[in-house]
Amino acid sequence: MRKIAALILALALALSVSACTIERVEEDGGNSSTAGNGKPAGGRQVTVYSWGEYIDESLIDEFEAQTGITVNYRTVPSNEELYSQLQQGAISPDVIVPSDYMISQLIEEDWLQPLDYSKIPNFDKIADRFKNLSYDPENLYTVPYTWGTLGIIYNTTMVDEPITSWSAMFDDTAAGNVILIDNSRDAFGMALRYLGYSVNTTDENEIREAAALVADAWSKGVYQGKTMDGIFQIMEGGNAAIGTYYAGDFLSMYENNPDLAYVIPEEGSNWFVDAMCILKNAKNVDEAHEWINFIASTDANLRNMDYIWYASPNEEALEKYPAWYEEQYGEPLDQELYEIMAAPQEVLDRCESYLVLPQDIRQLYNELWIELSAA
């Protein structure tokens, strides 16, 4: 892991930069980081919507300094919330960073515009295995941002033995000490894998069986509650024993609480790609392309990977990272932690990527999730 001294220095630098350039406000139902740098209103700008704790903010400052483009960087908690806000017309992004299955849906519903890859030369640095994937088979709309896995995070001091199965999320062994992830695709997905079904099943009976498993655990008090980014504070503070979240975020939590562990259960899980896209009605298309090209660079990927602990799709950055890390921190990168961030193929072989589901199945997910939340 990163050296404590380096973390303290980075925090001090981040605080000094934030005091000068970053203003955090609540907006659009989520957090907003608008890098001001004392710039007057107007001029070139780009509005980016992504997830919380998902960028090294020094990259925002560097991009602004290099290009003169003001970055309005805002966050939403989930793909479903992003989609809801787009549907309602509550937000007007230029660039969004959704996950694979949501990208498929947005393409299907004509939300995105094709990219001009001549303006994104750093796309050539993206590894071939992250191109032409099912969510964008002709690679017309996306540039991959990160990739990772969904697994179980648990506190080794609060469980009797290492967790190996999704059963830990449903039985009452740790009742009241389990955190449910607050989105239907992941919550029902883990139940589907536990039951031996595909996360992409369109069989209504299988989906209802999975939802019933989660709902039964909910009614029995297995779950302390459900959250997305709130899991950071809960797990780091030792306020829950078990939760479901993403590999990169686990590594961030682990820095603050080394009692935590991460496992992809034996039944398998989800592996995902988040990618940068431009909305069809974007107001700042040229600026959006400049932002995407900057973020796709090897240097930005190395720094971002180090800061957010999500694996890079930039082949050069992924290969260089262990040596880059050792040079930065004066110690070798822990191989076990690196393989949590960048899961090896034998782990990915046990996982599925989400595919976009038919409209009637998405509606079923929504109905079942609302029923659970209202219980």
Please check the confidence at residue 5 and state whether its pLDDT lies above 50: no
Task: State how far the Cα of 276 lies from the Cα of 51, in Å rounded to an integer.
Answer: 12
| pLDDT number for residue 215 | 98
Residues forming beta bridges with residue 157, ordered by sequence position: none
Please compute the mean of the pLDDT values over residues 135-154 and round it to a whole number. Answer: 98
Determine the pLDDT at residue 42. Answer: 63
Domains for the chain: give ranges and CATH numbers.
4-145+273-332 (3.40.190.10), 148-270+346-374 (3.40.190.10)
Q: Which pLDDT score, from 0 to 100, does residue 38 have?
A: 37
The answer to whether residues 312 and 173 touch, using CB atoms and an 8 Å cutoff, is no
Mean pLDDT of 171-187: 96
How do residues 220-239 score in pLDDT, each as one tens digit? 999 999 999 999 999 999 99
Going from the C-alpha of 12 to that of each of 17, 31, 61, 117, the distances in angstroms are: 9, 22, 16, 37
Q: List C-alpha distances in Å: 139 to 134, 235, 331, 355.
A: 10, 38, 38, 16
> Is 214's pLDDT higher than 90?
yes
Tokens 């970053």 map to which residue?
22
Q: What percent of the chain has pLDDT over 70?
A: 89
Can you give the pTM of this predicted structure?
Answer: 0.85
**Residues near 103 by Cβ (< 8 Å), separated by ≥ 6?**
112, 135, 136, 141, 142, 275, 277
Q: What is the dihedral of CA 184, 185, 188, 192, to 10 degrees?
A: 170
